[in-house]
Amino acid sequence: MKRRMAEIMAVMMVSVFVLTGCSSDEEKKISHFEKGETYFQNGEYKSAELEFRNAIQIDPEFVDAYERLGETYLKLGDPRGAFREYTMVAKLDPENIDAALKLATFYMLGKKTDESREKVEAVLAKEPTNIEALFLMAGLYDLEKNLYEAASVFEKILELDSTQSRAYMGLARIYARQGKLDEAESQLMSAVHLDPAAIKPRLELARFYTGRKAFDEARAQIEKSIELNPGNADLYIILGNFFFQMKQPDEAERAYLKAIEISPDEIKPYMVAAGFYDASGNVDQTLGMYEKALTVKPDDINIMTTMAGFFLKRQQMDEAERYLTRVLEERPNFFPARMMKGEIAVFNKDFPEAIGIFDQLIKEEPRSSRAHYLKGVSHLGKEEMQVAKTSLVKSVELNPQLVKAKMLLADIALRERDFETAQKESAEILALNPKDYRARMMLGNALMAQGKNAEAEVAYKTLIAEKPENPAGYYRLGLLQRSLKDYDGAMESFNAALARNPMLMDVFTNLVLVYGAKGELDIALRACDDQLEKVGDSRVHQAVINNLKGGLFLAQKRTEAAEKAFSRAIADNPDFMPPYYALARIYLSGKKQQKAIDQYNAILAKNPDQAGPHMLLGTIYDMQKKYHMSEKHYRAALEINPQFAPAANNLAYLLSSREDQIDEALNFARIAKEKLPDDPSVMDTLGWIYYKKGLYGNAAQEFSDSLEKLPENATVNYHLGAALFQKGEKERAKSYLEKALALDTTFDGVDEAKRMLSEM
C-alpha cells in the first residue's frame, strides 16, 4: 500500500512539474511578444525583431509573432525578410486575409503577376467586396496594360465606397494614359474635394499639372497643401524638389532649410538638403548636412552608407571604408554596404577580393544587375574577357538600360574586332541617349572598320557639331579622310584637333604621316620644329616629335641628322621605345654595329649605372639574333631600373620562346604594360605571351589593340590571325594572315602563317 501511494505521489509531482513548465513557456512567449510590441511602437525595430524571434523560438507556430515580425522587417527595409515571415503566416493560417494580401503585393512588386493574381482571387472568392483586394486587382490590370478592366475595378470600388480617394486617383491615372486629360483632372478634383487638407490627392493633382507643363497650377497646389498643413516638413521638401526641377536653386534651398527648421529632429530633411548640395557641387555643405543627420541618429546605417557612397564617389577610400566598417559591424549582411566594399576592392585593383564579394552578393540576389556589372568589371581587370562578357551580358539582360555595361560590351567588341556587335551595342546606347558622345564615337569607329565610310563620316561630323571644342571628333574624321587618301581634308581635320589641344601626339603623328604621303618632307620638318615650341618643356612630347624628325631625316637619306634626332628622343624620354629600334637599324644598315657596340660599352665603362646604353646594346644584339647577348643587356638594364619598360618588354618577348620561362616572361610583360599601357609593341608582346600560354581570347584582345595603332605591321597581323585561328574563328583569321603575308614575307612566323592558311 505504501509503495502504491509513493507511485501516485511521484506521478503527481511529474504532472505538476510539466504543467508548471508549460505555464512558464507560455508566459515567456507572451512576455517576449509584448516586449516586441513595445519596441515596435517606439520605433526600436531591431529590438522588436529579437523579441518576436524569441517568442517564435518558444512556439514555432505562433502566428501573431510571425505577422508582427513581417511588419518589423518592412520597417527595417528588408522586404525579403518580410516576405519570408508572411509566407509562414499564410502556411500556418491559410485563412489569414491580411497575410494573403501582403504576399500578393510582394508578388505584384516583383512583376510575378500570376502568383499575385492567384492570391487576390482567393481573397475575393471569400470576400468579393474586400477593398484592398480590389485595389490590388486594379493594379494587376494596370501592370498588364489592360486599362479598361483596371478602370472598371476602380469604378466598382467607388460604388462600394465613394470616399476612396485612391480610386479617384487611380481612375485619373488611367484616363491620363488614355489621353483623356479633362476626365483625369476631374477625378483628381473629386479626390481633393473629399478632404481638402488631405495631402496625397493634392500632390497627385500637382504632379498631373507638372506633366502638362502647367507649372503655376502645380506650384499653387503644393503651396495650398502647405497652407493647410503648415507643420509638415515633407511638403516643404516637395516644394524644394519642385523648385529644383524648375532650375530655381535659391528657392529650392530655402524650402529645404524650412523643412529642417520645422523638423530638426528628423533625418530626412538633412539628407534631402545634402542631396541638393551634392547635385549643386557644394561638397562642404553636403558633408555638413550628412554630419548633422548623423548627430540626430548616430547609429543610423542608412546615413553612414550614404556617406560612404559620398566619399566613394570622390575616391576618398579611407573615409568610405571608415563608415562601411561601422555599418557592417552593426549589420554584417547589409547588401548595399557590401556592394560598396566590392567597389572599393575594384578601385584598389584587388580583383580577386572584389569577385569573391560579388559572387556572394549574386548568390544572395541573382537579379542584382549592378553586382553582375561590377563582377564583369573585375574580370576585365584580370583580363578575363570571356568571363567578363558573360557577367556584363547578364547585367544588361537584367537592366536593359544599364548604359555602362553596354558601353563595356561595345568596347570589348571593338577590341575583338567584332565590329558588327560594336555597332549594334553603340547604336542601342544612342537609342537610350542620343547625345552620348562616347557611344557615337564607338559607332563611327565600328562603321569605319567595316568600310561603311559614308556612315562613319556622318557619325564623326555629328560629334564635331555636338562638341566643336572637343578634338576627338576632328581626329577620327581625319583618320577616315587619311584612309581614303583625302589628304587635304585630313590635314584640315588634324590641324583643327591640334588647334584645340597641341599636346595630342597621336594627332600630330598622323599629320606628319600625311605630309610624308604628299612628299612634303621639308614642310613636315618645319611643322615638327613649330610643334616643339608648342609643347614647351614636356620631355615626353619632345621625344615623340624628335622621333618623327628622325624618321623624316631618314626618308631624306640624311642619316647623321636622323641619328642625332633619335638620340635626342631617347635622352628626352628613356622609356620611349621606337627610337631605340630606329638607332639600331641605322647602325645595322650602315655596317656600323661594332662601332656602336664599342661606343655604348665605353659609355658604360665610365658610368655603369645607366639603363639606356644597355637597352641600345640589347636592341642591336636582338637584331643580330645574338639573343644570349641581348638577354644579358636587357637584364642588366632591369637590374639598374626594375621598372624600365623598354627592357622589360623586349626581355619578355625574348623569353616567350622558352617554355620553361614563360611565367617569367609574363611578369616582365606586365611591368611593361603597367608603365606603357598604350604602346602597341607592349600590347603585342603581352598578347604573344598569352598566346604561348594558350589564352587565345586574351591574346586576341591585346593584338587587336596593337593593330589599332599599327595596322600595317605584318607581325601584329600574323599574331592576331594566329590567335583567331586557335580560337576557331578561321574566317576572321584568314584576312589577317593574308594581310601579314602581303605586307612582308620575312617576319618570324611566315611558315606558320602559311600552314594555317593551307589548313583553311
Give the model confidence (pLDDT) of 614-673 as tens digits.
998 999 999 889 999 999 999 999 999 999 999 999 999 999 988 889 999 999 999 999
Across the chain, mean pLDDT equals 91
**Using H for helix, E for strand and C for coil, what is the string for 6-46?**
HHHHHHHHHHHHHHHHHHHHHHHHHHHHHHHHHHHHCCCHH
| Residue 19: predicted pLDDT | 43
| Residue 82: predicted pLDDT | 87
pTM above 0.95, yes or no: no
pLDDT band at 310 (very low <50, low <70, confident <90, very high): very high
pLDDT band at 23 (very low <50, low <70, confident <90, very high): low
Give the model confidence (pLDDT) of 241-254 as tens digits.
999 999 999 999 99
Give the homologous superfamily in CATH for domain 678-760.
Answer: Tetratricopeptide repeat domain (1.25.40.10)
Question: What are 745's three cell numbers?
Answer: 614575307
Looking at residues 81-91, what average pLDDT do you find?
88
pLDDT band at 417 (very low <50, low <70, confident <90, very high): confident
CA nearest to 229, candidates 185, 187, 263, 180 = 263
Please say if the pLDDT value at position 154 is more than 90.
yes
**Spatial distance between the Cα atoms of 479 and 511, rounded to a whole number of angstroms:** 10
Give the model confidence (pLDDT) of 551-602 as tens digits.
999 999 999 999 999 999 999 999 888 898 888 888 888 777 888 888 888 8
Residues whose CB is less than 8 angstroms from the CB of residue 266 and which lie 6 or more positions away in sequence, other chains included: 233, 296
Please say if the pLDDT value at position 14 is more than 70.
no
Give the model confidence (pLDDT) of 354-408 as tens digits.
999 999 999 999 999 999 999 999 999 988 888 999 999 999 999 999 999 999 9
Looking at residues 505-517, what average pLDDT do you find?
95
Percent over 70 (pLDDT), the chain: 97
Percent over 90 (pLDDT), the chain: 73
Query: Alpha-carbon torsion 736, 742, 744, 748, what sign?
Result: positive
SS3 label, residue 354: helix
**Using H for helix, E for strand and C for coil, what is the string for 68-79?**
HHHHHHHHCCCH
| Residue 456: predicted pLDDT | 97
Cβ neighbours of 470 (radius 10 Å): 16
Please spell the DSSP secondary structure of 547-566, one letter per residue.
HHHHHHHHHTT-HHHHHHHH
SS3 label, residue 229: coil
Q: Check for a shared fold between 574-663 and 678-760.
A: yes
pLDDT band at 12 (very low <50, low <70, confident <90, very high): very low
| Opening angle at CA 268, ends 265 and 270, nearest 5 | 75
The residue ranges of every structural domain in the chain are: 574-663, 678-760
The class level of CATH for 574-663 reads: mainly alpha
Burial 564-573 (b: 16+ CB within 10 A, else e): ebbbbbbebb
